[in-house]
A and B are shown apart, each in its own frame.
Chain A
Amino acid sequence: QITLKESGPTLVKPTQTLTLTCTFSGFSLSTSGVGVGWIRQPPGKALEWLALIYWNDDKRYSPSLKSRLTITKDTSKNQVVLTMTNMDPVDTATYYCAHSIAAAGDAFDIWGQGTMVTVSS
């Protein structure tokens, strides 16, 4: 059974750097075809794709946020970390991590519960 869980601060100040950790179980990020991505959703708004890291360390980023995002993986800890610099109140959102597998294309077939991050001074 695949599960993912997001963790990190619930409140950050403007200009600070956000670090979110996705801890997963039920799969290995060293297995060919596997990926873990990050998606966010501001309150009452649409989903926004942020970043994705593959088993071979290939990394993809949203072009509009690429300069602020870094995604890394720690295969031994079953974790994926997303950092976002220079946080702004418009970055207030629920942040999700999700599993993808090549057999399903680039779909996110299993999602974490999400973690709400508020940006405010």
Chain B
Amino acid sequence: SYELTQPPSVSVSPGQTARITCSGDALPKQYAYWYQQKPGQAPVLVIYKDSERPSGIPERFSGSSSGTTVTLTISGVQAEDEADYYCQSADSSGTYMVFGGGTKLTVL
């Protein structure tokens, strides 16, 4: 079945830029979505349709797509951004969805 691949962890210092990647063969054809999950909480949508930001999500969160890789970029990382981040997308035919394995963002 279809899989999305994320790095297990990313570390940045406060104020720096964090980039979290997600790779999958169908990403050129299907939209990607990004979620932030803090311990003990339900996930929160931070990016939809590759690069759209829901209302209420800070402008420092942005998304981009290039070929089989999509990237979540957090500019000017703050301590409160420390969380697990998951990408989500569909298989090539759009029949079902999958999540990536998640990336733990550590703010040093």
In the complex the two chains form, is A106's CB within 8 Å of B90's CB? yes
Smallest distance from the beta carbon of B24 to chain A beta carbons, Å? 13
How far is A64 from B96 in the complex, measured between Cα atoms in Å? 11
Within 8 A of A (CB), among B42-70: 42-45, 48-49, 52, 54
Q: Contacts of A47 on B, CB cut-off 8 Å?
A: 35, 37, 43, 86, 88, 99, 102
Residue A54 is within 8 A (CB to CB) of chain B in the complex: no
Nearest-neighbor residue (CB-CB) of A51 within chain B = B96
A62 at the interface (CB under 8 A from B): yes
Query: Which residues of the partner chain A approach B49 to less than 8 Å between Cβ atoms?
Result: 104-105, 107
Residues of B contacting A106 with CB < 8 Å?
31, 33, 88, 90, 97
Contact of B101 with A by CB under 8 A: yes
Q: Check B96 against A105 for contact (C-beta < 8 Å).
A: no
CA distance A113 to B63 in the complex (A): 26
For B33, the chain A residues whose CB sits under 8 A away are 105-108
Given A46-B102, A106-B33, the answer on whether A64 and B1 have CB atoms closer than 8 Å is yes
Q: Which of B31, B54, B90 contacts A109 (CB 8 A)?
A: B54
Interface residue count for A (Cβ, 8 Å)? 23
Residue contacts A-B, CB under 8 angstroms, 30 given = A39-B99, A46-B86, A46-B101, A47-B37, A47-B88, A49-B88, A49-B97, A60-B96, A60-B97, A61-B96, A96-B42, A104-B45, A104-B52, A104-B54, A105-B31, A105-B33, A106-B33, A106-B88, A106-B97, A107-B31, A107-B33, A107-B88, A108-B35, A108-B43, A109-B48, A109-B54, A111-B42, A111-B43, A112-B42, A113-B42
The verdict on A93 contacting chain B, using a C-beta distance below 8 Å, is no
Is A48 located at the chain interface by the 8 A CB criterion?
A: yes
How many angstroms between the C-alpha atoms of A37 and B43 in the bound complex? 14
A63 lies within 8 A of B42 (CB): no
- Can you name the residue of chain A whose Cβ is closest to the Cβ of B103? A46
